[in-house]
Structure 1
Amino acid sequence: MTRGNQREKDRERAAARNPKGKNKDDGLTPEQRRERDGKALQEKAAKKAEKAAGGGDAGAKSTKK
């Protein structure tokens, strides 16, 4: 192995940058988490639909020459 302990050092640096890690212990049951996430997705979809309806031709290119 030519990398030595570089990989382990990089993992330590990454763990230091993100102290909470991959621990998903937020005190919620899977059912509560599903409800929370579903509500967030509905709000996101509503916001996107509102932007699409209100924006109209916001992404259209200009035809001026």
Structure 2
Amino acid sequence: MRSREVDRQRAQTRKAQVKQRDDGLTPEQRRERDAKALQEKAAKKAAQAAAGAGGATDSKNKGNAKK
């Protein structure tokens, strides 16, 4: 009987997780929203890269040149 209660509780948590995904949008609307968010993120990243590229060198790979 104990395992039955545990199974019910797990099923309820799974249901709750599925409900969070339901935002009332059609798949097409969701794709458009996500594409727009990705474009904004890419534009922001490009702007930061352009602002940081003024005189900075790539410090991540400093000293890691292949010989």
Interval containing the TM-score (normalised by the shorter chain):
0.5 to 0.7
Unaligned runs of 5+ in 2: 63-67
Instruction: State the distance in 1 between where 2:24 and 2:57 align.
Output: 42
Structure of greater Rg: 2
Count the aligned residue pairs: 49
Aligned CA-pair RMSD: 2.9
Question: 1:21 Cα deviation (Å)?
Answer: 1.9
Q: Of 23, 27, 33, which residue of structure 2 is paired with 1:30?
A: 27
- TM-score between the two structures when normalised by the length of structure 1: 0.56
SS at match of 1:21: helix
Question: 1:33 Cα deviation (Å)?
Answer: 0.2
Instruction: State the distance in 1 between where 2:57 and 2:23 align.
Output: 39
Name the one with the larger helix percent: 2
Q: Of 33, 48, 51, which residue of structure 1 is paired with 2:48?
A: 51
The structure showing larger relative contact order (alpha-carbon pairs under 8 Å, at least 6 residues apart) is: 1
Instruction: State the distance in 2 between where 1:59 and 1:51 align.
Output: 14
Question: 1:59 Cα deviation (Å)?
Answer: 5.0
- TM-score between the two structures when normalised by the length of structure 2: 0.55
